[in-house]
Amino acid sequence: MSHYLAPAKLTWFLEVGNKRADGWHELQSEMVTLSLADELEIEEEGDYVLLSGETAGVEAGGNNLVSRALRLVDRKAGVSLIKNIPTGGGLGGGSADAGAVLRWAGGVSAHEALTLGSDVPFCQVGGRALVEGVGERVTPLEFIERSVTLALFDFGVSTSEVYRVFDELTAAREPRDPRNHLARAAQIVEPRVKTAIAWLTAEFGEEVVLAGSGATLFVEGHLRHDQDQWEVDSPVGRVRLRQVQTTPAGE
């Protein structure tokens, strides 16, 4: 039985290009992994995927990313997966799980990993990297330890809808948020994101950044010294605040 961590992915910044003929978007992003992670117990003699923890929204059966990653490497295994990364929050939970399975199997090329999703090539490597192309070009960068506070919500944002609105805004030549090009589109698709950004900014006085396509928000630094997790009421419901660190590759 082997134990693997599947660290959450955070887009420190995200620049998105115009839509290509094949439907993909070119991107340039600095991505980092976090101490928030799913946990996998992998038994080589098994043939199952068992889910527990934050499983809301996770596909069951053979379509989840763990099962697809096993098929990609043509391996069978028994995988017990404890989900700690919220689904649909822009933190790459499913991609992180697939990346952990690929590491267990010895790794695949970035182009093979890309068949599972645009975040999987980075999640297979982890640490801190410049990610370009449609996610397949991963250039490791020197590790920088950073403290981050995540704001986690009980709602997600549809990535496909965010990109659809992003394309509409691009066609209308609307300005882009310099830190995350998808931020304006996400606030249109899910107005609670806009409300949450305004509330967090007023509450903590820090720059609030959208993680990926949302709905998770983050600020650099830790906001409290007495605890790493707490919940508060907000105009968009209960918010879970969690203080984490960036992690090097291989952790």
Residues recognised as catalytic: 9, 119
Q: Which positions ≥6 away from 234 have C-beta within 8 Å?
A: 196, 199, 200
Residue 152 CA to residue 4 CA, distance in Å, equals 24
152 DSSP β-pair partners: 240
Asked if 90 and 211 touch (Cβ cutoff 8 Å), the reply is: yes
Asked if 34 and 149 touch (Cβ cutoff 8 Å), the reply is: no
How big is the chain by its Cα radius of gyration, in Å?
18
100: helix, strand or coil: helix
Asked if 32 and 218 touch (Cβ cutoff 8 Å), the reply is: no
Q: Return the residue matching tokens 């946990």.
A: 39
